Chains A and B, each alone.
Chain A
């Protein structure tokens, strides 16, 4: 039987109140959203906060909406909210590709976008998706708001730049024209963490790639990205040859760890192969060839 260690419980009804509770209880307090990452960690005593601050009443953070040339996802948007949003899927097919394979429908009813990326699990899918999209994270504290690029958000496994008295409130994604995105994941069984996964985002203008984003999960990629492969694509043609080069660079740059999901060389192979498949689909979508 798995039960968390004794913990105090508080419920916040606004962002301001959540921040005040974080200030009051200090670094041994943790925000809990869906709880589908934190509670399992608490049962295993890998996390042992003294105070839990429940933010499930913060409906003010459960939006998905377009603001000018950016798409904004509130930190409390559930995975299901993303999956049922036609607007989100139309703008960024990668979001729906990924959400369909994150856990299962019941877990997606609870799990949140903000909770997922703040958990900063190295195998977490949305971190790779947002890396590919060049998204940024909006972080609030009592002192104000700061915005951090996704390539600076993760400090390491299970660690982010969000400070003890701060909270992530929103993810912002730039909206681009001629944009195609896709996500490819290999898992042992439905709903499992990735053995390896790759996301691609391309802007293609007149056959030339003007933006390239490649995000990777579960393969030890620095900041969930493949920066070298992205650079190799920019300014060149959206060709099979270019994708093969990007796949090779990705495969060489990652740092997977052998575990029960597979050996290191298999994951390295997958990182390259899935990058290539994601790039093909992203390119087709950017050029209106595939829904």
Chain B
């Protein structure tokens, strides 16, 4: 079947098998490898991307179900060479070690801050509770999201 959707603002039309999971479509067919593929069972949350403005676990969404919808991946956070405050927060607070969970964490963090610009530590922890960091780096992930909350203006990327 043919699907058409908007991915990070660009319209894409592709031919797919209806059983293709969205995470594989994004990574393998569109080549957007920022979205990671982890547990396959909607537990780990590294595959989180946005569909119609809400974070979803893309290992548990069929590409066909995303037909006609608007997708935003971690590649869509940075705008015109300027990092999103969430990305900058992960840099400033050492919010990643191996980096595997990072794309999902950042997509969920951006959504949280869009709805709650000044979340408490408890609210941050609750919001990322469906996402697993294998390096047990939650302390710094929470700090990174708090940093982003405290620095809502975007930051120039250092060349």
A235 near B: Cβ within 8 Å?
Answer: no
Q: Are A103's CB and B130's CB within 8 A? A: yes
Q: Are B129's CB and A54's CB within 8 A? A: no
Taking CB atoms, residues of chain B closer than 8 Å to A2 are 40-41
Q: In the complex, what distance in Å separates the CA atom of A1 from the CA atom of B17?
A: 16
Known contacts being A5-B19, A7-B19, is A107 close to B130, with CB within 8 Å?
yes
Chain A contacts with B in 25-67, Cβ cutoff 8 A? 32, 35-36, 39-40, 43, 52, 54, 56
Minimum CB–CB distance from B19 to chain A (whole Å) comes to 5
B108 near A: Cβ within 8 Å?
Answer: yes
A3 near B: Cβ within 8 Å?
Answer: yes
Minimum CB–CB distance from B110 to chain A (whole Å) comes to 13
Minimum CB–CB distance from B145 to chain A (whole Å) comes to 14
Proximity string of chain A (1-22) to chain B, C-beta cutoff 8 Å, 1 when within and 0 when not: 1111111110100000000000
Q: Are A110's CB and B19's CB within 8 A? A: no
Interface size of B by CB at 8 A reads 29
Taking CB atoms, residues of chain B closer than 8 Å to A104 are 45, 129-131
Known contacts being A35-B65, A107-B42, A107-B57, is A6 close to B19, with CB within 8 Å?
yes
Chain B contacts with A in 44-72, Cβ cutoff 8 A? 45, 48, 54-57, 60-62, 64-65, 67
A191 near B: Cβ within 8 Å?
Answer: yes
Q: In the complex, what distance in Å separates the CA atom of A104 from the CA atom of B108?
A: 12
Q: Are A40's CB and B126's CB within 8 A? A: no
Q: In the complex, what distance in Å separates the CA atom of A106 from the CA atom of B46?
A: 11
The closest CB in chain A to the CB of B16 belongs to: A9
Q: In the complex, what distance in Å separates the CA atom of A105 from the CA atom of B56?
A: 9
B152 near A: Cβ within 8 Å?
Answer: no
The closest CB in chain A to the CB of B20 belongs to: A3
Known contacts being A11-B67, A54-B65, is A106 close to B130, with CB within 8 Å?
yes
Minimum CB–CB distance from A124 to chain B (whole Å) comes to 15
Q: Are A56's CB and B40's CB within 8 A? A: no
The closest CB in chain B to the CB of A103 belongs to: B130
B127 near A: Cβ within 8 Å?
Answer: yes
Q: Tell which of A6, A35, A107, A191 touches B62, judged by Cβ atoms closer than 8 Å.
A: A35
B1 near A: Cβ within 8 Å?
Answer: yes
Q: Are A106's CB and B18's CB within 8 A? A: no
Taking CB atoms, residues of chain A closer than 8 Å to B126 are 105
Taking CB atoms, residues of chain B closer than 8 Å to A90 are none
The closest CB in chain B to the CB of A190 belongs to: B129
Proximity string of chain A (97-138) to chain B, C-beta cutoff 8 Å, 1 when within and 0 when not: 000000111110110000000000000000000000000000
Taking CB atoms, residues of chain A closer than 8 Å to B60 are 35-36, 39-40, 110
Best-surrounded residue of A7, A32, A104, A191 (most CB of chain B within 10 A): A104
Q: In the complex, what distance in Å separates the CA atom of A206 from the CA atom of B24?
A: 60
Q: Are A52's CB and B40's CB within 8 A? A: no
Q: In the complex, what distance in Å separates the CA atom of A9 from the CA atom of B60?
A: 15
B21 near A: Cβ within 8 Å?
Answer: yes
Taking CB atoms, residues of chain A closer than 8 Å to B55 are 106, 109
Taking CB atoms, residues of chain A closer than 8 Å to B48 are 106
Proximity string of chain B (14-48) to chain A, C-beta cutoff 8 Å, 1 when within and 0 when not: 00011111001000000000000000111101001
**Can you list 28 contacts pairing A with B, beta carbon distance less than 8 Å?**
A1-B40, A2-B40, A2-B41, A3-B20, A3-B21, A3-B24, A4-B19, A6-B17, A11-B64, A11-B67, A32-B65, A36-B42, A39-B60, A40-B60, A52-B62, A103-B130, A104-B131, A105-B108, A105-B126, A105-B130, A106-B55, A106-B57, A106-B130, A107-B130, A109-B54, A110-B56, A110-B60, A191-B130
Q: Give the 7 A-B CB pairs with smallest separation, nearest first.
A: A104-B130, A9-B18, A9-B64, A2-B40, A4-B19, A106-B130, A190-B129
